Chains A and B, each alone.
Chain A
């Protein structure tokens, strides 16, 4: 099966460790993620000002590229890109006035009416491949690894683009169990990691991160899994700042779900780009013998 895939700017550069294992894992599951031709930056955040249509052009152009491929579905792995593209798509589907203005403005493009379905890779794994099939393909079960699933904001809010009902969320849990690992559901799973505030107000950002780490650790997690490069940056790379400020915090390795999936499918560390992770990721995987087993 082939499916259109939107990697986004971060996955092609700083978060290759999310992109590469994802593409490899899907390949191993019989799905070719075909990178959308001529994709552009989606803008990272959905435009919230009612009179600002200009920032909608970028995500809508990406969606038009999908239609040009003769496709009607777009798989996105980055949570922020997913949220931005899915909201822009909904607006084009539901708001005829704005749709008309945008279509008229983009004279060089074909008209777009929201016909594409924007799907997050986690939903795609469940709905198009299925946990049973993934389970059958697991070569290195991540047995004994206690993983805290971190959703953050953009996979679940607002409701209109939530990948599943926030109060009944099971996607991460099902994936973690399918890979043979143990789920540590923790109260801060859907809290905000401070997002871009890590740049504007770093002290507030680090405090926010510390609370999430503390919550995951107190519930017994050995690792955090996420699907957003900004969450990964805040919880992973900036974790050292949190550890420096709070003695009681311990190092907590932070992974992308695509990395764990690739490892569990037996694709080995080669496709995981662990060198781009930050905190004790390789050490933890070695101690669990997940690297040697592959």
Chain B
């Protein structure tokens, strides 16, 4: 993947927002890949967590926001507990999701869940899914 990085591609507002919402200093990331190595969802992601960190650092908003990675992330914290730089990646992923959700865009439509599935679901599945994937 060739990526152009220049002052034209750097979205400062995006970087500031992710910093603010996540409360994390993801610029500390040293690209070791420990997060990606232990991520149970990695094979389903289009961009590994390690790359999400550097793309966010470089302010490449479109690449990060259009990636499905933050939506596939299950907030399992396997990455956060192992990151040698002490970055809570789950908070960075949350911030990336929030940037979309706060525009009133849902990732999951509650009305699209079938009655059959709904009937068997534990409440914590519904509540956590809606907390993570609806605005």
**A residues adjacent to B (C-beta < 8 A):** 8-10, 13-15, 41, 43-45, 48-51, 55, 78, 80-81, 153, 157-159, 166, 191-192, 194-201, 204, 207-208, 229-230, 232-233, 237
Question: Chain B nearest CB: distance from A277 CB in Å?
Answer: 12
Verify B76–A229 contact, CB threshold 8 A: no
Question: Chain A nearest CB: distance from B44 CB in Å?
Answer: 5
A153-B76, A192-B74, A233-B120 given; A45·B128 CB < 8 A: yes
List residues of chain B with CB within 8 A of the CB of A195.
Answer: 74-76, 128
Verify B121–A233 contact, CB threshold 8 A: yes
Verify B40–A208 contact, CB threshold 8 A: yes
List residues of chain A with CB within 8 A of the CB of B95.
Answer: 49
**B residues adjacent to A (C-beta < 8 A):** 20-23, 40-41, 44, 71-72, 74-78, 80-81, 88, 90-91, 94-95, 98, 107-108, 113, 117, 120-129, 131-133
A13 to B124 CA separation, bound complex (whole angstroms): 11
Verify A199–B20 contact, CB threshold 8 A: no
A9-B127, A14-B123 given; A50·B76 CB < 8 A: no
Verify A14–B23 contact, CB threshold 8 A: no
Verify A13–B129 contact, CB threshold 8 A: no
A80 to B77 CA separation, bound complex (whole angstroms): 13
Verify B77–A43 contact, CB threshold 8 A: no
Verify B77–A44 contact, CB threshold 8 A: no
In the complex, which residue of chain B has the Cβ closest to the Cβ of A198? B125
